[in-house]
Chains A and B, each alone.
Chain A
Amino acid sequence: MPEQHGSRLASGPGRILVFVYGVFAVAATGRSAVQLGLHADRAPLAYSLSLVAAVVYLAATTCLLLGSDRAWRIAVLACSIELLGVLVVGTLSYVVTDWFPDKTVWSHFGQGYGYFPLVLPFVGLWWLRRNTPERGTPRR
């Protein structure tokens, strides 16, 4: 791989991934801010989950941009939580419909976002796995 400035995790296909994560970070942050700010009492659980999603996306975006070994580990954690979140919340939104009077990013497996939230953690984890920090290399 040619030497590049900036994070290895954020170049090549990673560049596209960072952008997509960035879009979702902004979307989820904006959504939770509007939902919690305007009518928090309407669906507290769903809106809190929007906020959780926002934090996870922000963490993943930041870590991909930083690209250090530690950032790599946090990114793996963020993507794992994201995967777990979309699967659990997605299932719950179908099973316990009462809990979700309004939608979140992850309800119905991200249906409102073209199912991107369901695909994204898989792509993220694949990309991170492909770019596992090599052992023995000095930490940045």
Chain B
Amino acid sequence: MNVWLVAAVLALAGVVMVVLVVLLVRDETAGDPTFGLLAALELALLVQAVVGVVALSSTSREVSGVLFLSYLLGALCALPIGAFWSLAERTRAGTGVLLVATFTVVALELRLDSIWGGSGA
């Protein structure tokens, strides 16, 4: 796995989380700029999914393929589902959902990195 890609995803997710916390504290709902950031993060995850699949198919190391792919897919799904679920209620709770979704991406990303490093289920 490309360490820069992981770093980029984590950094973007960090920025998104800070923005969301600020929104939560101010009790404002997420607007276009926030969703733009989320889209950028999702784009990075998409790139990572492609790079990840290519890397998995060409690596000679012991990586649990099923596990790795399921985490790539999971990371890809978290934000769209979270965004959809949060848009149904544009309140503080909706913003909270976005924060949890982004946090989920971070958790999956860290696991993804350790799975690539060779740890199992």
Contact = CB atoms under 8 A, between A and B. Distances in A.
21 contacts: A6-B88, A12-B89, A12-B91, A12-B93, A14-B93, A15-B85, A15-B89, A15-B94, A16-B97, A18-B85, A19-B82, A19-B85, A19-B100, A20-B100, A23-B78, A23-B100, A23-B104, A34-B66, A38-B66, A38-B121, A102-B121
Given A31-B121, A38-B121, A16 B100 contact: yes
Nearest to B67: A34
Given A31-B121, A114-B107, A19 B97 contact: yes
Contacts, number: 49
Interface string A4-23: 10100001111110111011
A15 B97 CA distance: 7
| Contact-size category for B | 20 to 34
Interface in B18-74: 64, 66-67, 70, 74
Interface residues of A, number: 23
A84 interface: no
Interface of A: 4, 6, 11-16, 18-20, 22-23, 26-27, 30-31, 34-35, 37-38, 102, 114
A85 to B, nearest CB: 19
Interface of B: 64, 66-67, 70, 74, 78, 81-82, 85-86, 88-89, 91, 93-94, 96-97, 100-101, 104, 107, 121
Q: Is the interface of A mostly helix, strand, loop or mixed?
A: helix
Given A15-B94, A19-B82, A38-B121, A30 B70 contact: yes
A31 to B, nearest CB: 7
B101 A19 contact: yes
A88 B104 CA distance: 26
B98 to A, nearest CB: 9
A20 B96 CA distance: 11
Contacts of A19: 82, 85, 97, 100-101
Contacts of B91: 12
Given A12-B91, A14-B93, A34-B67, 14 more contacts: A11-B89, A12-B93, A15-B88, A15-B89, A16-B96, A16-B100, A18-B85, A19-B85, A22-B81, A23-B78, A23-B104, A34-B66, A38-B66, A102-B121
A38 B67 CA distance: 10
